[in-house]
Amino acid sequence: MTTLLGVLFGGIFMGIPVGYSVAISGMAYLFFESTVPLLVVAQRMVVGVDSFTLLAIPLFVLAGALMAEGDITPRLMKFASTMVGHIPGGLAMVMVVSCMLFGAISGSGVANVVAIGSILLPSMKEQGYEAPFSAALLGCGGSLGTVIPPSITLVIIGVSMGASIGKLFIGGFIPGIIAGVGLMTVSYFVALKRNYPRLERASWGEKWSALKQAFFPLMTPVIIIGGILGGVFTATEAGAVASLYALILSKYVYKKLSWRRFFDVCLDTARTSATVLFLIGSAALFGWILSAEDIPQKVATAMFSVSTNYWVLLILFNILLLILGMFMETIAIVLIIMPIFAPVMQQMGMDPIHLGVMVCVNLAIGANTPPLGVDLMAACKLADIPYSSSFRPLMPLLGAMIFALALITFFPPLVTFLPNLIMGGSGG
The pair phi, psi for residue 200, each rounded to 5°, is -70, 145
Task: Establish if 350 belongs to a structural domain.
Answer: yes
Would residue 40 count as lying in a domain?
A: no
In the chain, count of helices (H) and strands (E)? 21, 0
* pLDDT digit string, tens, across residues 120-134: 899 899 889 999 999
Q: How far apart are CA 100 and CA 297, in angstroms?
A: 39
Give the count of domains, the chain: 1
pLDDT value of position 426: 47
CA-to-CA distance for 203 and 84, rounded, in angstroms? 12
Residue 170 lies in a domain: yes
CA-closest candidate to residue 140, choices 192, 200, 184, 171? 184
Give residue-wise pLDDT tens across range 317-354. 999 888 888 877 788 788 878 888 888 888 888 999 99
For the stretch 136-192, pLDDT in tens is 999 999 999 889 988 888 988 998 888 888 899 999 999 999 999 999 999 999 999
Within a domain: 311? yes
Whole-number average pLDDT of the chain? 87
Closest CA to 373 of 341, 415, 401, 353: 401
- Domain ranges, residue 313: 54-274+295-423
Predicted confidence (pLDDT) at residue 238 exceeds the cutoff of 50: yes
Residue 42 in any domain: the answer is: no
Q: Which pLDDT band holds residue 135 (cuts at 50, 70, 90)?
A: very high
Residue 29 lies in a domain: no
Long-range contacts made by residues 191-196, C-beta under 8 angstroms, separation at least 24?
191/88, 191/89, 191/92, 192/88, 192/89, 194/130, 196/88, 196/89, 196/90, 196/91, 196/92, 196/127, 196/128, 196/129
Q: Does some domain include residue 49?
A: no
pLDDT at position 1? 67
- Burial status of residue 423 (CB atoms within 10 A of its CB: 0-12, 13-18, 19 or more): middle
Judge whether 119 lies within some domain: yes
Q: How confident is the model at residue 425 (pLDDT cuts 50, 70, 90)?
A: low
Give Cα 228 to chain centroid, integer Å. 20
Question: Would you say residue 300 has pLDDT above 70?
Answer: yes
What is residue 11's predicted lDDT score, i.e. its pLDDT? 83
pLDDT in tens, 12-45: 778 787 778 888 988 888 888 887 888 888 888 8
Measured CA distances, 372 to 67, 336, 394, 396, 399 (Å): 28, 17, 14, 18, 18
